[in-house]
Every structure is written in structure tokens, then in C-alpha cells.
Structure 1
Amino acid sequence: MTDTPVETMSFEEAMKELEAVVNKLDSGDVPLDASIALYERGAALKKRCEEELKRAEEKVAAITLDAEGNPTGTKPVEGL
């Protein structure tokens, strides 16, 4: 695991570290205090992954296509 601030991580970085946190917690070999810290880090990583997925979904939803089905750019997604 890293000391990288969660809010600066890419989706892939956050997901990889989240998997490491889950594996460590699943092992059962972590003292209680460390387990609590790992759980908190895991929760922050999960939130980061969700935010990055939502951002990507919004970008995909905003792509417009021309008559031939080619991307022409993006437009704002209504309601966001």
C-alpha cells in the first residue's frame, strides 16, 4: 500500500490498492487498530473509484455522433 493521497489517484491505482486492502483485511492477521485504519483507507478508495466511474460514465453519455455514427464531440449531460 502507498501513502499517495486518495484524491490524486487514478481509478486503476485506487482499485489496485483497494484490492490490497481487502486482501489484507481478509487475511485476519491484522491487529485491530491497523484493521480500523485499513478499513478507513478502503472506504476512501472505494469512494474514489465510484467518483471516477461516475465521471467516466458522464463523459461517455455526453458523446454525440454524426449521421454516420462517428463521434463529433461532446455536449453537456442534462441534469448534471
Structure 2
Amino acid sequence: MTEPTAPSVEEMSFEQAMRELETVVGQLERGDVALDASIALYERGAKLKKRCEDELKRAEEKVASLTLDASGTPVATQALDAG
């Protein structure tokens, strides 16, 4: 039986990337991984960290583009993408 391949970092949600990043950090902190595997984990961790940062920035920009009208209803101050 073959191991399922890890999903592409670019396809992960913020929550998926964060969970995997926590797992990667835990493995690296324990130090019970061979050197080559540690390097691969570090590289994946760097990609996961960037994915999380990018998703947070996107969310912050989306929130910053909203204001409230007089009745407290959110109103976009600029066009938001559909994503």
C-alpha cells in the first residue's frame, strides 16, 4: 500500500497549512528525524509558513477594504475578488 501524497501547499486552506506547519515544527523540535528528512521538512515548513502569511495578508486586505454604512452594514470601498 502506498502512502498518500501530501497535498500541494498552494491548494491548502489556511487552517490546513497551519496544522501541517505545527506538525512539521514539532518533528523538527524533537530532532528524531534524519538529516535529509529534516532538510525536506524545513523546506516544506518554509512553504507552509509563506502560505499562511499570504492567506493572512489576503484576509487583512479584504477586511481593510470594508467599511460600515450608517446602519452598520458592511460596504465594500473597492471591488473584492470572488476568492
Smaller-chain TM-score bracket: 0.7 to 0.9
Residues 8-66 of structure 1 show CA distances to partners (whole Å, capped at 9, x for unaligned) of 10000000000000000011100000000000000000000000000000000001211
**Aligned-pair identity (%):** 70
Over the residues paired in the alignment, what is the CA RMSD in angstroms? 1.6
Counterpart-to-counterpart distance in 2, 1:11 and 1:26: 22
- Aligned partner of 1:5 in structure 2 is 8
1:64 aligned onto 2:70: no
What SS class does the counterpart of residue 43 from structure 2 fall into?
helix
Matched, 1:47 2:47: no
Moved runs in structure 1, 4+ residues, more than 6 A? Answer: none
Q: Which AA in structure 1 matches 2:66?
A: I
Query: Unaligned regions of 5+ residues in structure 1, if any?
Result: none
Cα distance in structure 2, aligned partners of 1:22 and 1:74: 39
> Match of 2:55, as an amino acid?
E
TM-score scaled to structure 2, two decimals? Answer: 0.84
5+ unaligned residues in a row in structure 2: which ranges?
none
The CA deviation at 1:76 is 4.9
Match of 1:30 among 33, 39, 54: 33
Which secondary structure state, in structure 2, belongs to the residue aligned with residue 64 of structure 1?
strand
Distance 1:23 1:52 in 2: 22
What letter corresponds to residue 7 of structure 1 in structure 2? Answer: E
